[in-house]
Amino acid sequence: MSAGFKGMDVVSIRDFSREQIEHVLKLAEKMVPIAKGEERSVLLEGHVLGSLFYEPSTRTRLSFDAAMTRLGGRVLGFDQPAGASVAKGETLADTIRMVDSYSDVIVLRHPQEGAARLAAHFASRPIINAGDGAGQHPTQTMLDLFTIRKEKKKVEGNNVVIVGDLKYGRTVHSLSEALAMFGADLTFVAPPSLQIPKEHLKQIESLGRKPRISGSLEEVIKDADVLYVTRIQKERFPDPAEYQKVAGMYRIDLPMLKDVKRDLMIMHPLPRVGEISSEVDATEHAKYFDQAFNGVPVRMALLGLILGGLK
Ligand code: NCD
């Protein structure tokens, strides 16, 4: 089953079959005690991960660091391009060529859509896309699926309501396609200007799913099994006035949860900036902090497969 994983680039969720993703999730299960520090591992001892973050990150960068370190590997790189030669005008291609010769695998986050694909072209080592502009975020999708499976046993058949910035939100782009592949029902809630782009809708429909499109969360929340909330991606708006029009449009608070299913799970890739009120954190619905932890075992499994320590 692991055939094809070793040395593989992870650029888009479309690069993976359902069986491959299921294999990652199964191995991630076994990684949980190591991720928690309850067991030790030297699976990736002697391996080096190059971590290049051209955009802010907390969870993605630190969970890749934690995953690599917990497996005995090392991490080098930067999280502030201002401190690297990028600030002197070095191109992405040149930076990638350098880090390619210093490490065994490269994790890249970049504001430009397509940056990971470009990096994969210049690197001989595997490239893992940790978010390319408004493009994709495939490893986030794997941890999202892991989280849903853990709570609901399976992904198939769940009604997943995705709300927020579906236009610029890269987590949604990868996740919605994967959910369609896994046979979930999808409902997209956003103002018309931030609805899911056609490209993704087409992919979802080609997988035999017919998503519901809505502007009103109140209308659809009662039937949801999973509510996936996202931040309006302020940094991607060409016009700040356009952002102001949609900022704060959706907010999950206790009154909003009055009539929801008892086992509704609420997810968010985080960071949140007001989309989920903190009073929701204490409810049984809140799964976003578990979700953030799940990034560690899932990225461990993926790194183990790509670097060849796992089969
Ligand atoms: C997301 C991202 O960077 O795309 N964060 C993450 O990786 N968990 C979501 C966001 O920034 O809104």
Q: Which residues contact 29 (CB under 8 A, 6 or more apart)?
A: 297
For residue 171, the CA-to-ligand 1 centroid distance in Å is 7
Is there a single domain that holds both residue 204 and residue 249? yes
Q: What total number of domains does the chain contain? A: 2
Is there a single domain that holds both residue 126 and residue 146? no
Is there a single domain that holds both residue 236 and residue 196? yes
The residue segments making up the domain with residue 28 are 2-136+294-306
Is there a single domain that holds both residue 119 and residue 163? no
pLDDT for 66 equals 98
Neighbours of 39 (CB within 10 A): 12
Q: How confident is the model at residue 144 (pLDDT cuts 50, 70, 90)?
A: very high
- Express each pLDDT in 185-219 by its tens digit: 999 999 999 999 999 999 999 999 999 999 999 99
Is there a single domain that holds both residue 104 and residue 147? no
Strand duo 185-189 + 105-110: pairing: unpaired
Is there a single domain that holds both residue 232 and residue 110? no
pTM of the model: 0.97
Which burial class, exposed, middle or buried, applies to 31 when counting CB atoms under 10 A from its CB (0-12, 13-18, 19+)?
Answer: buried
Is there a single domain that holds both residue 200 and residue 187? yes
Is there a single domain that holds both residue 167 and residue 190? yes
Collapse the DSSP code of 239 into the 3-class scheme (helix H, G, I; strand E, B; otherwise coil) and give the result: coil
Residue 265's identity, in one-letter code, is M
E strands, 61-184, where? 74-78, 105-110, 127-132, 159-163
> Which protein residue has the closest C-alpha to ligand 1 atom 11?
271
Ligand 1 site, residue 269, Cβ cutoff 6 A: yes
> Which protein residue has the closest C-alpha to ligand 1 atom 1?
269
Tokens 């992405």 belong to residue: 92
Collapse the DSSP code of 226 into the 3-class scheme (helix H, G, I; strand E, B; otherwise coil) and give the result: strand
Is there a single domain that holds both residue 51 and residue 157? no
Is there a single domain that holds both residue 118 and residue 131? yes
Is there a single domain that holds both residue 149 and residue 93? no
E strands, 28-81, where? 48-53, 74-78
- Express each pLDDT in 272-281 by its tens digit: 999 999 999 9
Q: In this structure, is residue 142 part of a structural domain? A: yes
- Express each pLDDT in 78-129 by its tens digit: 999 988 888 889 999 999 999 999 999 999 999 999 999 999 999 999 999 9
Q: What is the CATH number of the domain that holds 278?
A: 3.40.50.1370
Which structure tokens are listed for 159? Answer: 């009604």
Q: In this structure, is residue 243 part of a structural domain? A: yes
Residue 219's identity, in one-letter code, is E
Is there a single domain that holds both residue 129 and residue 212? no
Which structure tokens are listed for 262? Answer: 């008892």
Tokens 């990736």 belong to residue: 44
Q: In this structure, is residue 311 part of a structural domain? A: no
Ligand 1 site, residue 140, Cβ cutoff 6 A: yes
User: Cα 12 to the chain's mean position, in Å?
Assistant: 11
For residue 3, the CA-to-ligand 1 centroid distance in Å is 30
Tokens 């199964």 belong to residue: 26
